[in-house]
Amino acid sequence: MNDTDIMAIAAHMHVLLRRKTGRVTDTEWMACNADYAKEIVRFARQRAQADQLTELAEWAQRLEQAVQQAANAPVVSAPLLHLGTPLPHSPEAALAAPPPLAPRYVGGIR
């Protein structure tokens, strides 16, 4: 499951929790922090059971599955740089090659 899907599920959970329980959550944090998402799932299930909210329980299940799939997804690593090659934003790289001159936008709509 990709980040967009997890974010969509987290946003839906946020709306449901806000409408049904008055609880305000952090959607972005829920999508990227597994511990926070697990706590939101626990809270949502507790409230779903206490208040008979089946839709909330279903979305809690979706969020839990999405977080588990994201945790099990393989990590894609960036290509390794050769030793001795300055990093793109290091001071050595700045001294090594001046940035190309970009054409300036002169005149036009303001």
Give a yes or no: residue 84 inside a domain.
no
Give a yes or no: residue 104 inside a domain.
no
Q: What is the structure's pLDDT at 87?
A: 58
Give a yes or no: residue 96 inside a domain.
no
pLDDT exceeds 60 at position 110: no
Give a yes or no: residue 45 inside a domain.
yes
Give a yes or no: residue 78 inside a domain.
no
User: What is the count of structural domains for the chain?
Assistant: 1
- Tell me how far apart the alpha carbons of residues 17 and 107 are, in angstroms, rounded to a whole number: 51
Q: What is the structure's pLDDT at 75?
A: 60
Give a yes or no: residue 66 inside a domain.
yes
Give a yes or no: residue 80 inside a domain.
no
The alpha carbon torsion through 78, 82, 83, 86 (nearest 10 deg) reads: -80
Residues 21/15, Cβ–Cβ less than 8 Å: no
Residues 16/58, Cβ–Cβ less than 8 Å: no
Tokens of 86: 């300055």
Q: Rounded mean pLDDT of the chain?
A: 81
- Tell me how far apart the alpha carbons of residues 84 and 30 are, in angstroms, rounded to a whole number: 39
With residue 72 as reference, give the H or E element that holds it: helix 54-72
Segments forming the whole domain that contains residue 58: 3-70
Q: What is the pLDDT of residues 41-88, one digit of tens each?
A: 999 999 999 999 999 999 999 999 999 998 887 765 555 555 555 555
Work out the pLDDT band at 26, boundaries 50, 70, 90: very high
97 versus 45: the higher-pLDDT residue is 45
